[in-house]
Structure 1
Amino acid sequence: MLRADVDQERSPLLNRNTFRNSLTISDDDDDTYKEKIGKIHLKYEPKVPIFSPQKLAIVLCILFVELCERLAFYGVNANLVLFCTSILDFTSNDATNVSLIFSGSVYIIPIIGGFIADAWSNRFNVIFASGLIYLCGLFLIVCSAVNYETLFNETNINPDVETLRIFYIVGLSLVALGTGGIKANVGLFGAQQVQDLGTQAVQVYFNWFYWFVNAGGLIAFSAVAYVQQNVSFTWGYVIPLISMIIALILLNVARSFYIYKPRQGSVLITSFKICHQACSRRSPEINGKRSTFDSARKQYGGSYDDVTVDGVIAVLRVLPIFFFVIMFWAIYSQMQSTYFLQGERMDLNVGGGQIPVAMLNVFNTIAVLISIPILDRIIYPCFQRIERPLKYMHRIGIGLILSAGSVFIAGWVEIERKKQFGFDQVVGDEKFYSSNMSVFLQVPQFMLVGAGEAFTNIAGLEFAYTQAPNTMQGLIMGIYLATAGVGNYLSTAIIAIIEATTKDDPWFPDDINDGKAEYVFFVFGGLMVVFFLGYLPAAYTYKYKEFATDKEAAATTSGNSQATTVKRTFNEDSVTIF
């Protein structure tokens, strides 16, 4: 759908080692390349990818859509535990489970969102439809928080708590569905708008995409959380509703200018069929060796071409790496659950006022926003200059270690917190017997998770995007996002097992003042150490792959030996961000 002149205009951005054999490149000097095609000689000056005004406007629309959606999501999630305990009369344990299951679902559902976009619709339609579902859920959540007697100036018209719970749980379910559909597609939809500018532009996009994600979280965990805790939950939930309306308006502003890719059928179903065929047919022997998936290739009697089979193999190759990221998300989920319960029982008073418990998440966001430019402008270039670049496997591993440090610090804070009980504290509409320790002693554990996120999650997103062909992008991104969901479910399971095995001497009772929550944190830290030790051999043996762009695949298929093409892969030895 791109014009030929646009392709020609962007061709100077191509790296010389990405041209095919039909092109020969010679260096005139460090700043100029000469391209030779037959008898035609063209000189190009390499440039850093620059977005045209129209392209920039399109990308900004998508980035602000993500900011507004994240503001809405975190606006719901920030004080979820507090709302459940103070308004809906859930126990602390039940509220924690609601939080973890909700957070887990919003990362599992993207697999379905990606499937629908691939099989039946396109990414834009799925994003927009998911946004409408999202709005319905947010409206029900507002309904669960409204004081109807005050609103209508009548008495005895407030619904009972069971009705409010139904409104809230159904609303959360719809928000989870909407979030899943958006999350699976909005990142890739934005990436395909800049893919014609080269891999560096895609990398810049992903970093700014993640920056906008955290900017939305920053607003939610500070301003929205403050309104919910100190003004009212009604207005605190109206803000996410308005934010989502703005997101849908922004999404439609540039509707006529987006680059749309036609759907190519369900990659998920095709992948299952290839795996079934590969396992059910005997593999041919090639040079004395057998490869399971060769039996699915057309050239050996199977039903699928090499590109499709190789794509499935690529997805399977990354699954071991994704598996070890699950524990990172299990620790990440503690910020809205166990860390929140811990913070409720610490001193929230600052300068005569009270800060929201959820505001501690701001320090996680700040850590991410600060870490990204420092890593990309200082740390990564330094390692490249000494010819020891931090590749995806290194960066993911560093994030795993930092997350383990977070829960170990949380365990220490819990031990010290219980040594200094001193006063009753009202948070929202609920009273807690609290420690004299300032809640700001939680800052290091939040910031370590944020720093780990800057390493693990950004590297994970880029890793997922680059280690599979274009046809598998939606599937592999959905699988990566699902690791966060599985991590939340794993956290729920770990806490449930701890509760079941420590009934006689509870580690995690309804009031953590009466338990041993520090042991819970140490269990999470110990499990991360085990996961990290398992990650090391998987990371060490992983081999990076390169995959062709749509244009390259088309050129190869048509037999056009003169086509100018580019590999869709990140060159980790020459990373330039911002």
Structure 2
Amino acid sequence: MASETQPLIGTQSTSSPLTRSRFRTQLACGAVLVTEIFERIAMYGAIGNLVMFLNKTPYNWTSYNSVNALFMFTAVTYMTAIIGGWIADSYLGKCRTILLFFLIYIGGYVFLPLLYPYPDPKFEPSQPPGWCAGSGNSSGWDTDHMDAWDEKCSWAVYLSLGIIALGSAGVKANFAPFGADQVRQEGTIAMRVFFNWFYWCVNVGALVALGLLAYVQQEISFFWGFLAPNVCLVIAVLVFTLGLPVYIKKPAGGSIISNIVRIVYDACRVRHQHWRRTVVTSDLDNANDLETLLNPINDAPSTCLDHAKVRFGGSFHDNMVDDVKALGKILCVFAAMIPYWTVYFQMETTFLIQGLHMRLDFNGTQGHRNITDEHPVITEFKMAVAWLSLFDVFFLIFLIPLFDRLIYPRLDRVGLTPSLRTRIAVGMVFSIASVCTAGSIERYRLDTYWRNGTENIYWQKIGGTFYRAADVSILYQIPQYALIGISEVFASIAGLELAYVHAPRSMQGLIMGLFWLCQGVGSLVGTATMVSFRGLWFFDWDHGDINCRVTCECHLDYYFFFLGGLQLVGLVLFVIIVKVLDIGRASPYSSQRASLPPGRSTGRRRVEVSQQ
């Protein structure tokens, strides 16, 4: 028998398995992160210029219908993520669910190049392709009160976007938690590292899509700009498939939603029985006996759901009931973040529309003021409108490693690690600053356009379509994109981490789906507010031109300030909710961080993730 000072496993036998285990973990994480990069290239390749694609020739959708199409796409993508999470938790497991929805994803994406089947960059079609042109009658400058379903090829656009949204949703709900499963045994620090680098890879994909593909779409052809992301999506599936031998795959745990329903029903049933017992004993003469009956000294349900526990007369073990209680807490926090997502999605919608009506070139000449005059063609180099989103991406790509490798480790060492709820609240503050900055820029843009009460038009041609812009450089938008990028470093990453860390293990897919669902609700709130202000701040004239025909009637600036106020209310509610529910506290991080790639042990005792 080995002595107490002798290792239970010899050094020769420990080095090889441990090395192999770390190597497999690194391979698994690497496959997940590379897959995420290519998948995000595909996604941002579809949505980065979607508003401009629909707003320009040959489709000529109104501005607000173009924006709402993206809002609806985003809403469906995020809201149907709960379906993917439910399927993974209850039936297929995360890995097989991801593969299934990848196939749906590809099936929807093949439609996009068909919406613009014109590979020749010199050919500028005046009408959409014949296979879908049977619907819609959008044409000319005077299309008023145009409903979304009356736009050209609306059925084909919404069908393709709907299939893509469903496929993307199933992947989105499971991909981040699947990647985190690969490093969960390494403890909380390794998971924070993973989520930081996962989000970093998301933005690397966005950088390629918005930096390269957006320019191809705008200046060459949307056919090639949509075909290239198709290829990237296929590569993503291949890379993910190659990693199958090294992944940690957790099986499905049964029907989660049905268990939740049964627990809620059982709690209501037992509580009703207790209430009836209270009524029966109401005629007792001895008040002390009644008090003893209703409030046992030893134990009593602290919440309604506790009635479903076996020890209180229910049918379920404590852990199952506590998981459902944790779900309710997390949902309250997610709901408080909805205004943040409403502001966040302006980056891909109203910010883009604002940029289309600002000067894109750096040395252009002032255009004519009369529409009957010949439009001056600006020949100088023009930046792609979607490139403005790159300022958000650049800040993220720079700040995420800075926080992960420098700022957070130093805070850890001095015991000042910011909690998840603190990071989210700080992100909300920056989002308010972003949208208020956008409102100020829009006020300046409108004043420039309507100087002295007359139109001062700066005509510019973008992708074959003329836009009436103000002579204000699009570079003025940099601060609002930078501020929303900083907000992501805090709120988005911390929200993603909170969704995983505080999720009961039996509900990780479901809760991650609910996290994305609340983002979808935020997108729908954006749609609802735009529809509500239609006819007040937004009009149908000239394809929804945000300049309007009459001075000071259109007010995108008011809309931005309204969103700032909405986010301020959301911030207050968020602070109250996390304080009352006592949720969002970060698990204490060790002073020694995992500064190695995800999956590398810190050399300290592994710490299990808090299931608060």
Q: After TM superposition, is the score higher than 0.5?
A: yes
**1:525 pairs with one of 549, 559, 564:** 564
**2:476 pairs with one of 441, 452, 472:** 441
Instruction: Please tell me whether the aligned partners of residues 61 and 543 of structure 2 are also in contact (alpha carbons under 8 angstroms).
Output: no
- Residue by residue over 1:540-578, the C-alpha shift from the partner in whole angstroms, topping out at 9 and shown as x without a partner, is 334358999xxxxxxxxxxxxxxx98522399xxxxxxx
Shift in Å, 1:353: 0.8
Instruction: Give the Cα separation in 1 of the matches to 2:211 and 2:351.
Output: 16
- Shift in CA distance, 150/435, structure 1 to aligned 2, threshold 3 Å: closer
Instruction: Give the Cα separation in 2 of the matches to 1:133 and 1:368.
Output: 30
SS at structure 2 position matched to 1:432: strand
**2:31 pairs with one of 61, 72, 86:** 61
Instruction: Give the Cα separation in 1 of the matches to 2:578 and 2:121.
Output: 58
Please give the residue correspondences for 1:150-229 in structure 2 after superposition, counting only pairs within 5 Å. 158-159=130-131, 161-162=133-134, 164-229=153-218
Aligned partner letter, 1:338:
T
Aligned partner letter, 2:77:
V
The alignment status of 1:83 with 2:53, answered yes or no, reads yes
Instruction: Please tell me whether the aligned partners of residues 368 and 450 of structure 1 are also in contact (alpha carbons under 8 angstroms).
Output: yes
- Shift in CA distance, 148/219, structure 1 to aligned 2, threshold 3 Å: closer
Alignment partner, residue 106 of structure 1: 77
Instruction: Give the Cα separation in 1 of the matches to 2:112 and 2:582.
Output: 47
- Residue by residue over 1:413-465, the C-alpha shift from the partner in whole angstroms, topping out at 9 and shown as x without a partner, is 01111233342011112211111211111011111111101100111111111
Alignment partner, residue 14 of structure 1: none
Aligned partner letter, 2:170:
G
- Shift in CA distance, 469/507, structure 1 to aligned 2, threshold 3 Å: farther
Please give the residue correspondences for 1:179-328 in structure 2 after superposition, counting only pairs within 5 Å. 179-282=168-271, 285=295, 287=297, 289-290=300-301, 291-328=303-340
Alignment partner, residue 529 of structure 2: 494
Identity %: 32
Shift in Å, 1:254: 1.8
Instruction: Give the Cα separation in 2 of the matches to 1:403 and 1:107.
Output: 20
Shift in Å, 1:127: 0.9
Aligned partner letter, 2:25:
K
Deviates more, 1:156-165 or 1:129-138: 156-165
Alignment partner, residue 459 of structure 2: 424
Aligned partner letter, 2:330:
V
Please give the residue correspondences for 1:329-344 in structure 2 after superposition, counting only pairs within 5 Å. 329-344=341-356
Instruction: Give the Cα separation in 2 of the matches to 1:144 and 1:297.
Output: 56
Alignment partner, residue 367 of structure 2: none
Instruction: Give the Cα separation in 1 of the matches to 2:436 and 2:394.
Output: 21
Instruction: Give the Cα separation in 1 of the matches to 2:513 and 2:416.
Output: 31
Instruction: Please tell me whether the aligned partners of residues 437 and 480 of structure 2 are also in contact (alpha carbons under 8 angstroms).
Output: yes
- Shift in CA distance, 197/491, structure 1 to aligned 2, threshold 3 Å: same
**1:455 pairs with one of 478, 490, 493:** 490
Alignment partner, residue 349 of structure 1: 361
Shift in Å, 1:144: 0.8
Deviates more, 1:249-258 or 1:210-219: 249-258
Instruction: Give the Cα separation in 1 of the matches to 2:352 and 2:311.
Output: 57
The alignment status of 1:569 with 2:569, answered yes or no, reads no
Deviates more, 1:513-522 or 1:193-202: 193-202
- Shift in CA distance, 340/205, structure 1 to aligned 2, threshold 3 Å: same
Please give the residue correspondences for 1:501-540 in structure 2 after superposition, counting only pairs within 5 Å. 510-514=544-548, 515-540=554-579
Shift in Å, 1:480: 1.2
- Residue by residue over 1:491-522, the C-alpha shift from the partner in whole angstroms, topping out at 9 and shown as x without a partner, is 1111111115558x999981111211100100
Alignment partner, residue 281 of structure 2: none
Instruction: Please tell me whether the aligned partners of residues 81 and 172 of structure 2 are also in contact (alpha carbons under 8 angstroms).
Output: yes
Instruction: Give the Cα separation in 2 of the matches to 1:513 and 1:75.
Output: 28
Shift in Å, 1:268: 2.2
Deviates more, 1:283-292 or 1:121-130: 283-292
- Shift in CA distance, 327/261, structure 1 to aligned 2, threshold 3 Å: same
Shift in Å, 1:382: 4.5
Instruction: Please tell me whether the aligned partners of residues 345 and 432 of structure 1 are also in contact (alpha carbons under 8 angstroms).
Output: yes
Aligned partner letter, 1:487:
G
Alignment partner, residue 9 of structure 1: none
Consecutive unaligned residues in structure 2, runs of 5 or more: 10-17, 136-152, 275-293, 364-379, 450-456, 549-553, 588-604
Instruction: Give the Cα separation in 1 of the matches to 2:541 and 2:566.
Output: 17
- Shift in CA distance, 198/106, structure 1 to aligned 2, threshold 3 Å: same
Alignment partner, residue 430 of structure 2: 402
The alignment status of 1:95 with 2:62, answered yes or no, reads no
SS at structure 2 position matched to 1:295: helix
- Shift in CA distance, 233/52, structure 1 to aligned 2, threshold 3 Å: same
Shift in Å, 1:350: 4.1
Shift in Å, 1:197: 2.8
SS at structure 2 position matched to 1:303: coil
- Residue by residue over 1:28-54, the C-alpha shift from the partner in whole angstroms, topping out at 9 and shown as x without a partner, is xxxxxxxxxx9678799xxxx997333
**2:392 pairs with one of 355, 364, 377:** 364
Instruction: Give the Cα separation in 2 of the matches to 1:216 and 1:165.
Output: 28
* Two-structure CA RMSD over aligned residues (Å): 3.3
Instruction: Give the Cα separation in 2 of the matches to 1:506 and 1:530.
Output: 30
Instruction: Please tell me whether the aligned partners of residues 502 and 611 of structure 2 are also in contact (alpha carbons under 8 angstroms).
Output: no
> What's the TM-score once normalised by structure 2's chain length?
0.78
Aligned partner letter, 2:342:
A
Shift in Å, 1:150: 10
- Shift in CA distance, 188/432, structure 1 to aligned 2, threshold 3 Å: same
Alignment partner, residue 555 of structure 1: none
- Residue by residue over 1:276-330, the C-alpha shift from the partner in whole angstroms, topping out at 9 and shown as x without a partner, is 2222321685547433122111233322211111111111112222112111110
Instruction: Determine which structure has greater relative contact order: mean sequence separation of CA pairs < 8 Å that are 6+ residues apart, divided by chain length.
Output: 2
Alignment partner, residue 24 of structure 1: none
The alignment status of 1:145 with 2:179, answered yes or no, reads no
- Shift in CA distance, 41/397, structure 1 to aligned 2, threshold 3 Å: farther
Shift in Å, 1:378: 3.6
Instruction: Give the Cα separation in 2 of the matches to 1:181 and 1:197.
Output: 26
Alignment partner, residue 142 of structure 2: none
Instruction: Please tell me whether the aligned partners of residues 467 and 547 of structure 1 are also in contact (alpha carbons under 8 angstroms).
Output: no
Shift in Å, 1:118: 1.5
Flag the structure with higher strand content: 1
Shift in Å, 1:371: 1.9
SS at structure 1 position matched to 2:251: coil
Instruction: Please tell me whether the aligned partners of residues 68 and 216 of structure 1 are also in contact (alpha carbons under 8 angstroms).
Output: yes
Instruction: Please tell me whether the aligned partners of residues 227 and 233 of structure 1 are also in contact (alpha carbons under 8 angstroms).
Output: yes
Radius of gyration: which is bigger? 2
Instruction: Give the Cα separation in 2 of the matches to 1:65 and 1:255.
Output: 12
SS at structure 1 position matched to 2:252: coil
- Shift in CA distance, 570/303, structure 1 to aligned 2, threshold 3 Å: closer
Instruction: Give the total of aligned pairs.
Output: 516
Consecutive unaligned residues in structure 1, runs of 5 or more: 1-37, 549-563, 572-578
Instruction: Give the Cα separation in 2 of the matches to 1:545 and 1:281.
Output: 31
Shift in Å, 1:381: 4.0
Aligned partner letter, 1:61:
A
- Residue by residue over 1:94-151, the C-alpha shift from the partner in whole angstroms, topping out at 9 and shown as x without a partner, is 1111010101111111100011111221211111111111111111111111139999
Instruction: Please tell me whether the aligned partners of residues 406 and 444 of structure 1 are also in contact (alpha carbons under 8 angstroms).
Output: yes
- Residue by residue over 1:6-64, the C-alpha shift from the partner in whole angstroms, topping out at 9 and shown as x without a partner, is xxxxxxxxxxxxxxxxxxxxxxxxxxxxxxxx9678799xxxx9973332122111111
